[in-house]
Amino acid sequence: MVAVAPTDRIGHSFANPGLLEQALTHRSAGAPHNERLEFLGDSLVNLIVAEALYARWPRADEGALTRARAELVRESALAPIARELELGARLTLGPGEMKSGGHRRDSILADALEAVVAAIYLDSGFEACRARVLPWFEPAMDALPPPHKVGKDAKTRLQEWLQGRQKPLPVYALLAESGEDHAKTFRVSCSVAQPPMLTEGEAGSRRAAEQLAAEAALRELDPDG
C-alpha cells in the first residue's frame, strides 16, 4: 500500500488510500492503473487554473487567459510540481519502465500529478481538491509575465511592437558561429531601422540567440512594456 501520512508532500490525508495507490500506479504495472484518474485530473487541473487566472486577471481577454493556462498546465510545467511532491519515488512501475528510469520521465510524472489531483477530488470533493492543489500552481502563476506577453516569444512581441507603430520589421543576421559540433555557440544581431538600433544575442542555437537579441531590442524600445 502507498504511504498516506498527512505530513507527506501531497499534504492530503486520504479517507480511501486506494485512490492514491491507483493514482501512483503506471499502466506498465498492470491494473488498476492511473489512466482513468489522469483523464479526470486533466480536466480538474484546467478548471482550477482557469478559475484562478480569471480571478487574478479581471481585464485579460480570452486569448491571454487561454495562453496562460496552456503555459501552466503543459507537461513541462506539471512535471516539476510532481518532482516537488516527490511523486517519482512513490510511483509503481512495470519492470521495463523501472529499468528505463520512468520515475524521472516528464510525461509519466505529469500524468501522475493529474491522477493525484483526481484522487483528492474523488476522496474529498472539489473544494478540498482546489484548496490543496491551487498552491502547487501559485508560484508559476506569480512568475507569469503580464497578460499581453504570455505565450509570446520575444521575436513575436518585437514584431508586433513594430507593426503596431507601422515601422519596418527587424532583420536578424548571424555574426559568428564557434565551437565543436556538439557544443556550438551562435552570435546573432537584431537590426531595427526605426528607431535605428542594433542588438546582439549569443546562445547554443541560432534560434535562441535571435530570441535573446530580440529581447534586448524590446528592453530598449519598450523598457516599461
- Note whether residue 8 is domain-resident: no
Catalytic residue among 21, 97, 114, 123: 114
Single out the residue in 99, 115, 142 at which a domain terminates.
142
CATH number of the CATH domain containing 32: 1.10.1520.10
- Note whether residue 148 is domain-resident: no
Question: Is 8 among the catalytic positions?
Answer: no
Residues 115, 160: one domain?
no
Residues 34, 114: one domain?
yes
- For residue 171, pLDDT beyond 70: yes
Question: Is 123 among the catalytic positions?
Answer: no
Q: With cut-offs at 50, 70 and 90, classify the pLDDT of residue 157.
A: confident
How many structural domains is the chain composed of? 2
pTM of the predicted model over 0.75 = no
pLDDT: is 3 or 65 the higher one?
65
Residues 162, 138: one domain?
no
CATH number of the CATH domain containing 169: 3.30.160.20
- For residue 3, pLDDT beyond 60: no
Catalytic residue among 42, 71, 97, 123: 42
Single out the residue in 142, 170, 197 at which a domain terminates.
142
114 is in an annotated binding site: yes
Residues 108, 26: one domain?
yes
Among 5-9, 148-152, 212-216, the minimum mean pLDDT is found in 5-9
Residues 32, 133: one domain?
yes
DSSP codes, the chain: -----TTSSS----SSHHHHHHHTB-GGG-SS-SHHHHHHHHHHHHHHHHHHHHHH-TT--HHHHHHHHHHHHSHHHHHHHHHHTT-GGG-B--HHHHHTTGGG-HHHHHHHHHHHHHHHHHHH-HHHHHHHHHHHHHHHHHT---GGGTT--HHHHHHHHHHHTT-PPPEEEEEEEES-GGG-EEEEEEEETTTTEEEEEEESSHHHHHHHHHHHHHHHH-TT-
Q: What domain range is 26 assigned to?
A: 17-142
Q: What is the pLDDT of residues 82-141, one digit of tens each?
A: 999 999 999 999 998 888 888 888 999 999 999 999 999 999 999 999 999 999 999 999
111 is in an annotated binding site: yes
Residues 75, 135: one domain?
yes
Residues 197, 121: one domain?
no
